Amino acid sequence: MPMAAFPPLDTSPNQAIKAIVDAALLEDLGHGDVTTDNLPKLAEIHKTAQLRVREACVVSGLSVAALVFQSVDPTLEFEPTVQDGQSVKVGDVIGKVSGPMASVLKAERTALNFLQYLSGIATETSRYVEAIQGTQTRITHTRKTTPGLRLLEQQAVSHGGGMPHRLNLGSCVMLKDNHLQALADKSANPIADAIRELRSRLSHTTKIEVEADRLEQVQQAVDAGADIILLDNMSPDTIRQALVIIDKRAISEASGGITLQTIRQYAETGVDCISTSKITLGVPAIDIGLDLD
Tell me what pLDDT residue 293 has.
79
Domain 13-129+284-292 = CATH 3.90.1170.20 = yes
Tell me what pLDDT residue 4 has.
38
Residue 41 bears catalytic tag: no
Pick the catalytic residue: 96, 109, 127, 264?
A: 109
Q: Which of 180, 176, 40, 152 is nearest to 105 (CA)?
A: 40
Residue 109 bears catalytic tag: yes
> How many residues does the structure list for the chain?
293
Tell me the domain boundaries of the chain: 13-129+284-292, 135-279
> What's the rounded Cα separation, in Å, for the pair 247 and 46?
64
- Residue 124: partners with Cβ closer than 8 Å, 6 or more residues away: 160, 278, 279, 283, 284
Pick the catalytic residue: 18, 127, 144, 240?
A: 144
> What's the rounded Cα separation, in Å, for the pair 288 and 80?
14
Pick the catalytic residue: 211, 253, 272, 278?
A: 211
Residue 232 bears catalytic tag: yes
Pick the catalytic residue: 232, 253, 272, 278?
A: 232
Could you state, in chain order, the average pLDDT of each consecutive group of 10 residues for the chain (293 residues)?
A: 41 80 96 96 96 98 96 96 97 98 98 98 98 97 94 96 93 94 91 96 95 97 98 98 98 96 98 97 96 89
Residue 18 bears catalytic tag: no
Class of domain 135-279: alpha beta
Residue 211 bears catalytic tag: yes
Cβ(79)–Cβ(255) below 8 Å: no
Tell me what pLDDT residue 80 has.
96
